[in-house]
Amino acid sequence: MQESEKELREVAKKLLLEKKVDLIIGYEEGTLPLRTRPIFIREADETKKLVWNFRCENNLCFYLKMAKERVGIVAKGCDIRSIIGLIKERQIKRENIFIIGVPCSGIIDRKKIEDILEGRELLEGIESDSQIILKGEGLEEKVDKDKLVHASCKSCKYRNPVLYDTLIGKEVSQGEGEEYSDVEEFASKSDNERWAYFNDEASRCIRCYACRNVCPACYCPQCFVDQSLPTWFGRTLHPSDTLIFHIIRTLHIAGRCVDCGACSRVCPMNIELRMLNKKAEKDVKELYHYEAGISLEELPPMATFKMDDPQEFIK
Amino acid sequence: MEGNRIVSKEKSEWKPRIIAFLCNWCSYAGADLAGIGRLQYPPNVRIIRVPCSGRINPYFIIKSLQHGVDGVLVSGCHPGDCHYISGNLVARRRFAILKRILEFAGVEKGRVQFTWISAAEGERFSQVIKEVTQEIKALGPNKRFVKEA
């Protein structure tokens, strides 16, 4: 971990000094224990603040949409898939982006840490190779890193960047396990059970739209829920309206979502948004043999068609 | 919308209310032909004419359910016959994902149905409406997405 961090800083410094990029977007240590935050670097000296570890959870590709200059970006496997999506949809230009790819063996889910803390305050987090020691007042607990890994990361098949300008560190082994086992298990439940589950999740939604705002695939100047001439989408907190918001959003990002998990991470109400998105991803893969963010050439599946597309669902 | 609802206290008298989105060029003409041919079909469908099946926003379908409709039927031109060349083909992909996601979320199979009906298929139109009405009758009133008063 330490070595790749050193390498990362050197690469970033060189890029800025050689004026290959105007801005580096990466991660720095946050002010809270076990947290990192995004950093925007324009001066070569500042590159020493850059860090890379399993706590770098943000999908920084989100900031590329606003950048007007040449940007060097520190990106994990999933972030790079988002970048490919944005390039393909002509939101950013490939020549303006310098991708510093970092192989990632999974990031930790701070919500899982919060579950362990049960409201106690975390004052210090000490990392070793396979364990994290959580310290606070009247608290000292050792936790295996594997237990804290984010749900999206566990079975991730793209831990090594698929597209990059320079690669930091060594390639890592891919995630194990069946990618869609959660979805399949859930799909085997009855209609009523599934409906009750989604209704329950949606009833907690407070419509803060954090999931939409953080999503790398959501960049419409005006989102459907903000349309007001007329206001044809329900705006109440009724589970019917909130569930419809999540379902329509899932449809909008079907074939574009790369399961970076940003929406689940930002959700203040801990709504399991991943289930719907993963299902859409699975369907697109089954029906149109397409995976988002893998190649720059393939057309987005929902923007194209084939004469012999499956249509067994049509009477 | 609530005022138009066909609701009755006794379940035996309950009649489903179905919205059919028909494309202007094929399915709507197909329905017209059924009318001209004096073909009988259940009066439970309310037809909404759209320019093309590609015009149908998935939200139209979900919103219909939210407003208490018991079933939705979407019909367009057969693949290859679209007036706009490929409207129905793009729509087909959209519908495939929509249907799977809705069913995944717990909307009963058969609540939302899709079909292709050409302008010459008046007979088929009345047949499809009969089938859809029967299936939705069997499912009972729609409870999904409906806001309880």
CATH number at residue B96: 3.40.50
Measured CA to CA, the distance from residue A234 to residue A240 in angstroms comes to 9
* Domain co-membership, A91 together with A23: yes
B128 chain-A contacts, CB cut-off 8 A: 315
The beta-carbon neighbor of A248 closest among B59, B79, B146 is B59
* Domain co-membership, A243 together with A114: no
Number of domains in chain B: 1
* Domain co-membership, A202 together with A263: yes
* Residue B32 DSSP code: H
In a domain, B67, yes or no: yes
What's the predicted TM-score (pTM) here? 0.91
Per-residue pLDDT reduced to its tens digit, A44-100 = 999 999 999 888 999 998 899 888 889 999 999 999 999 999 999 999 999 999 999
Strand partners, B49: B22
Q: Residue A14: CB partners within 8 Å, gap ≥ 6?
A: none
Per-residue pLDDT of chain B (149 residues; tens, 9 = 90+): 445 555 555 556 889 999 999 999 999 999 999 999 999 999 999 999 999 999 999 999 999 999 999 999 999 999 999 999 999 999 999 999 999 999 999 999 999 999 999 999 999 999 999 999 999 999 999 999 998 86
pLDDT at residue number B7: 55
pLDDT at residue number A118: 84
* Domain co-membership, A235 together with A161: no
In a domain, B8, yes or no: no
* Domain co-membership, A76 together with A127: no
Q: Residue A215: CB partners within 8 Å, gap ≥ 6?
A: A62, A253, A262, A263
Quick check: B147 and A224 CB within 8 A? no
In a domain, A214, yes or no: yes
* Domain co-membership, A26 together with A167: yes
In a domain, A137, yes or no: yes
Q: Residue A232: which domain range?
A: 178-310
* Domain co-membership, A220 together with A278: yes
Token pair of B141 as six digits: 């009133």
* Domain co-membership, A36 together with A161: yes
- Return the residue of B nearest to A253 by Cα: B97
In a domain, B82, yes or no: yes
What rounded mean pLDDT belongs to chain A? 91
In a domain, B145, yes or no: no
Quick check: A191 and B108 CB within 8 A? yes
CB of A102 within 8 A of CB of A52?
A: yes
Number of domains in chain A: 3
In a domain, B123, yes or no: yes
Q: Residue B47: which domain range?
A: 19-139
In a domain, B104, yes or no: yes
Per-residue pLDDT reduced to its tens digit, A149-197 = 888 888 888 999 999 999 998 888 888 888 898 899 999 999 999 999 9
Q: Look up the ipTM and state it.
A: 0.90
* Domain co-membership, A101 together with A201: no
* A7 φ/ψ angles, rounded to the nearest 5 degrees: -60, -45
User: How many Å lie between the alpha carbon of A190 and the closest alpha carbon of chain B?
Assistant: 8
Q: Is A210 on the interface with B (CB under 8 A)?
A: no
